[in-house]
């Protein structure tokens, strides 16, 4: 009986170890995977996808434009997509791809790219 119990425990442990758990990733790696396709390899908004877009992606190095957005707005637009802040639907919602923590980290990453903070000026 104990032998069977041990075998079952081993089987369950093995299944848990091999489950496809999704890991948290760094903002840099998430930006490379999900954002660069449109915002470009250096964040200038010149991604490989932009040729036929009716609205061009934001240049993340543009301190003036990025400075008009609060961190809350940046979080919202990444999580819920462009329409959530009355911008283009070409910016999709990433809520099912990224955790809230990963999105917060991405907002910080954007602030390093633009070298800016939210400003009312």
Residue entry with tokens 């633009």: 114
Q: Does 93 bind another protein (CB under 8 A)?
A: yes
Dihedral sign from CA coordinates of 26, 89, 58, 42: positive
Interface stretch with another protein, choices 4-12, 13-21, 67-75, 113-121 (CB under 8 A): 13-21
Residue 88 burial (CB count, 10 A) = 15
Q: Does 31 bind another protein (CB under 8 A)?
A: no
Could you say which of 11, 29, 68, 115 contacts another protein (CB under 8 A)?
29
Separation of alpha carbons 119 and 121, rounded Å:
5
| Residues 111 and 75 sit within 8 Å (Cβ to Cβ) | no
Please identify, using beta-carbon distances, which residue of 2 and 20 lies nearer to another protein. 20
Q: Does 41 bind another protein (CB under 8 A)?
A: yes
**CB of residue 66 vs another protein: minimum separation in angstroms?**
20
Instruction: Compute the 3-state secondary structure of the chain and give helix, strand, coil in percent, each to the nearest 5.
Output: 55, 0, 45
List of residues contacting another protein (CB under 8 A): 18, 20-23, 25, 29-30, 32-34, 36-38, 40-42, 46-54, 81-82, 88-97
């Amino acid at each position: 009986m104990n032998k069977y119990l041990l075998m079952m425990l081993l089987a369950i442990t093995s299944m848990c170890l091999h489950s496809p758990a999704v890991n948290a990733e760094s903002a840099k790696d998430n930006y490379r995977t999900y954002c660069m396709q449109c915002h470009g390899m250096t964040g200038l908004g010149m991604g490989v996808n932009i040729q036929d877009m009716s609205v061009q992606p934001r240049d993340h190095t543009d301190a003036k434009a990025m400075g008009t957005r609060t961190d809350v707005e940046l979080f919202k637009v990444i999580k819920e997509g462009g329409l959530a802040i009355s911008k283009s639907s070409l910016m999709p919602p990433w809520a099912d791809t990224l955790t809230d923590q990963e999105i917060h980290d991405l907002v910080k990453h954007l602030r390093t790219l633009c070298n800016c903070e939210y400003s009312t000026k």
